[in-house]
Structure 1
């Protein structure tokens, strides 16, 4: 912990100097961790079920060149977390025998497509949360007549199939990047395969844990859960949204490896700072259990009339689209949300989503019903006849920096509140490196007085509408790279902007 003492001594200069210069000066308390062993921020990335193989609905549109485009952009982002959800019947469940038992094939082209993501994650030390949308044929029914093949989430046939798949991926293929398993997407929802039944989901989790112990897989992988949408209370569900976190702790305990939730959050909740207050309730439950907590899906609410009108006007978007991904503002709100989450004690967040080309409404494969949530659309040319739709969108700027400059193992430390409406910051320490991220989610310009407490050169990035500096690839470029030690920096925060300082220089 040598770096902490050094860092604290520098902060004496920070606190004294700032307080003497500006009433808006903030303090960073390096000896007061909010969370340790930070997992990191990342994205939801699915293996393009409509376009990944010759037999997919659209054919093999995801060529090697398309995959390489994604890899190059991710190389800059340096995500630390992937959530990769799928369906057994999309990949490795190829039918049933005469006894009604699943027939599994782990060598299909569809499995090979998933392995492209896992190869990238394994090579780049990215934590993978693998999982399934729900019990096969209970979520995305098909015309194959299999809807009655599984009794529910706790059916041993399904759980054993999952365990065999994991055994193949981890032990045979060596994908030790798979750390967590996500059993049923958003199980508190009416749309989930278990229809919000906590007891069914709990029994499935308990059975999953039993089976992976028997296979010796528990040293590699554990359950991420409850995966609930905590700000959604399904009247037909066993418990309200936050209650799923509480009851997971009470009823499953050590059967949960990491707590994990979702939020497609309200703009007003983020802008007011109430986002942190609400989600700290879940983070506190996890902390009491001695566990970490992450957002498995994080995005902004899409239900506003303006957004729905924009989706309706787009011939390739379905109603489950967030058209604000084309706007500068989305990068501000997403940065604000993840900053508040980190300050509440969350150890990471996966943004929904990387790429429009991953999913359609109901995953039916209709080309005019893309789920527009991505940082780009890999198939803009092929599906939308619009090559420009493959370009990086504005919110990549802020999200990529929140991934890139908060390394795995960082300590997120306490900071003062700024006292300015809409202005928030978070700070991470990694060895002797420091990153400070600041958002101004207000409609007016603001200024903070800030000393950069390091002896190292500091980079400064600025995300502001129409003026964000990027290179020829669309990747963020620092506006300053030689901020000196001990310098008091009057940080200009334009309205609706994001600023990041870091000593890390890749």
Structure 2
């Protein structure tokens, strides 16, 4: 038995040595996912810093916003999740009869609208939502707690529909395609607190109200927005069961299945996403709905990460300090490659900017949520202008957004003889994009086999530690020489712990 184990280990090592030629077969006619929606980010209005009356005042100046948009212009996110609160934008409280006081002409509402203006201009699919029942989450008690009774309160449902009607019919936004009713309703931090029946009833009421208002042709519900690996003991269902149950109960009321996941690094590195989440993609196909990750990131709860948090005087416990590291670019590229190969239609990374949120959104400057590609308020909040710079993982995530365009087909890509090497291929007409991540400690020589025209030229982007190229604005720069398939074959070398993206797009 020991001899067999030793031989097996030796063969495994040999299968991923630099001397081994790894074969990758790409079948451009075997479609995993049609009409890919796109990868993107969560970018919320900055509730602590977006107006003169915000907790910190107007720190997100037009110049700050312009820099955010300029960086997004390079990334080209095609899917954006925007989550807010009614009482941060347009709900000004309740009158003496407990009727909501609504005002769509506020400075706060205008901030949301300028963010939607950007999405509209750039054809970004928007998933809009609210964190939860107004005055019940992310707020110091303003004296209105308890007036709204839950996610199935018809008053709240009516407010949401009136707001969507204003945004769509009055303001003319066509980018708002989906709506979340309550963030992560299966969590014990949610206003629903795992009460599936309350959420289901509210979602059904909202779907009917959208139909009654004639808005359902523009915007539909995406849900259940559950955290797939969170099991709330007060809920009748596990996180995974929430998604299956919602698909069964509300398949005619929803426009997309949508979930969240914060994955332990070893789950990503072992390739478990394609195993653990395949049944959700299959469920989406069964009910004929697209399926999306509304939030995707890595788990923050490790002792190592929390030790790093404790050393940062500005970070709260809900932070992922790996965003500063080269390795996070590898892990997130690995995750999204697996997500696409599993049959999902897109992912939004949590999150674009540290400056968006604080712990429980109470506005404490020493409790910011470090998850972003940058911190727009590094100078103002942390006395650290360098914190406003683009971080390494922008490189890999931006490329998966920019060069895997909406409407693409994700096709079958098979790595024959090397664990730890993952490849995704997107085809959009004559355009082809191939993403490769090598999570092993060895360099590999790859032979890519695909039915690709010999005159198609591929840009190549290379992300290796201390060796990836960026321009003066820290945007990715392609290698000087372009690549092409010869007789449907392309040989390339991929370094250990690296990412590569090949694309025929020339922009």
TM-score (norm 1): 0.94
DSSP-derived class of the 1:416 partner: strand
Matched position secondary structure for 1:24? strand
Match in the other structure for 1:262: 260
Shift of 1:149: 1.0
Shift of residue 495, structure 1, vs aligned partner: 1.8
**Residues 55 and 262 of structure 1: CA distance in aligned 2, closer, same or farther (over 3 Å):** same
1:108 and 2:109 equivalent?
A: no
1:419 Cα deviation (Å)? 2.7
Partner of 2:463: 463
Residue 23 of structure 2: SS of its match in structure 1?
A: coil
Deviation readout 1:240-298 (Å, 9 max, x if unpaired): 01101111122112111100000000111111111111111111101100111010000
User: Which digits, 9 at most, give the CA deviation of each residue in 1:184-243, with x for residues without a partner?
Assistant: 000111111011000000000011011111111011000000101111111111200110
In structure 2, the residue matched to 1:312 is 310
Aligned pairs (5 A) from 1:114-133 = 114-133=112-131
Question: Which residue pairs with 2:13 in the alignment?
Answer: none
Q: Identify the match of residue 278 of structure 1 among 272, 276, 279.
A: 276
Structure 2 gap segments, 5+ residues each = 1-18
Establish whether residue 207 from structure 1 lines up as the match of residue 208 from structure 2: no
Decide whether the 8 Å contact of 1:22 with 1:449 is kept in 2. no
In structure 2, what is the equivalent of residue 334 of structure 1?
332
CA contact (8 A) 2:22 2:415 kept: no
Given that residues 418 and 424 in structure 1 are in contact (C-alpha distance below 8 angstroms), is that contact kept between their aligned partners in structure 2?
A: no
Contact 2:135/2:141 (<8 A) preserved: no
Q: Is the 8 A contact 1:141 1:147 kept in 2?
A: no
| Residues 348-367 of structure 1 aligned to structure 2 (within 5 Å) | 348-367=346-365
The Cα of 1:24 is off from its aligned counterpart by 1.8
Gaps of 5+ in 1: 1-20
Contact kept in structure 2, 1:424 and 1:440, CA below 8 Å: yes
In structure 1, C-alpha distance between the alignment counterparts of 2:480 and 2:338, rounded to whole Å: 26
Alignment CA distance shift 1:484-1:23 (3 Å): closer
1:438: which partner in 2? 436
Residue aligning to 2:374? 376
Listed as ranges, the matches of 1:418-437 within 5 Å are: 418-437=416-435
Map of 1:50 onto structure 2: 48
1:38-437 correspondence runs (5 A): 38-437=36-435
Q: Distance in 2 between matches of 1:382 and 1:430?
A: 43
Rounded Cα–Cα distance in structure 2 between residues aligned with 1:117 and 1:495: 39
SS in 2 for 1:220: coil
2:318·2:369 contact (CA, 8 Å) conserved in 1? yes
Native 8 Å contact 1:459 1:502 kept in 2: yes
Distance 1:102 1:443 in 2: 59
2-side partners of 1:446 and 1:269: how far apart?
Answer: 22
Whether the 8 Å CA contact 2:281–2:344 is kept in 1: the answer is yes
Query: How far apart, CA to CA, are the structure 2 residues paired with 1:484 and 1:210?
Result: 52
> Which digits, 9 at most, give the CA deviation of each residue in 1:54-75, with x for residues without a partner?
0000000000000000111000
Q: Which residue of 2 aligns with 1:505?
A: 506
What is the Cα deviation at residue 421 of structure 1?
2.1
Are the counterparts in 1 of residues 45 and 356 from structure 2 also a CA contact under 8 Å? yes
